[in-house]
Amino acid sequence: GVTASLALLEAALDAGADAVIVHHGFFWKGEDARVIGPKQRRLKLLLANDINLFAYHLPLDAHADIGNNAQLGKRLGLVAEARFGEQELGWLGRASAEFRTVGDLASGIERNLGRAPLLIGDAQQAINHVAWCTGAAQGAFDSAIAAGADVYLSGEISEQTVHLAREDRKSTRLNSS
């Protein structure tokens, strides 16, 4: 699984698993490390049922062939031309002929991934360059803009990213009256 959530651990128990392998374990950077509440319930379920937990926080977004970004690009027909951001985890490529507008890309995402994306901005905006980074990549939004992206796909979005997406424009309209 991706995260050692209670739902995943309960499914592992129901399946009779001896071990669970995840990308995200129990302890997150900056989070309270005490084993209380949900963390305690998860750990209790594992210990009471003798299930092992293996958590490997590998850079799943980075691998050029099998990484999450590579696979997302393949599913959407995007070909990376450049990398950007911290550890060059973000990918940038030209939009395919199928995706001439942000709305076209949103429809393609829904068709290929089976769920509608949250779209911030103008669906009619023309796009030339698409930037993407799976996972918690809202922090790379500024880097995507600097790399020349017209649209940015991320696995997460934060409140400040919503405002940046709404406010960053290639041209600024000034009212002279």
Residue 150 contacts residue 130 (beta carbons within 8 Å): yes
pLDDT above 90 as % of the chain: 58
In angstroms, the Cα distances linking 81 to 93, 123, 129, 130, 134 are: 5, 24, 10, 10, 17
The pLDDT tens digits for 12-46 are 999 999 999 998 898 888 889 999 999 999 999 99
In this prediction, residue 173 carries a pLDDT of 36
Question: DSSP per residue over 6-62, as a string?
Answer: HHHHHHHHHTT-SEEEESB-S--TTS-----HHHHHHHHHHHHTT-EEEE----TTT
Cβ neighbours for 162, distance < 8 A, ≥ 6 positions apart = 120
* Reported confidence tier of residue 169, pLDDT bands at 50, 70, 90: low
CA nearest 102: which of 155, 152, 170? 152
Whether the full predicted model's pTM is greater than 0.85, yes or no, is no
Per-residue pLDDT tens for 134-146? 877 878 888 999 9
Tokens 């993407």, residue? 132
Please count the CA atoms within 13 angstroms of the CA of 41 that sit on its side-chain side.
8
Helices of type H across 77-167: 102-113, 141-146, 159-167
Indicate whether 174 pLDDT > 60. no
Average pLDDT over residues 43-58: 94
Confidence of residue 171 (pLDDT cuts 50, 70, 90): very low
Q: Are 26 and 63 in contact (CB under 8 A)?
A: no
Return the H-helix or E-strand segment holding 74: helix 68-76
pLDDT bin (cut points 50, 70, 90) of residue 57 is confident
Please report which confidence band the pLDDT of residue 81 belongs to, taking 50, 70 and 90 as the band edges.
very high
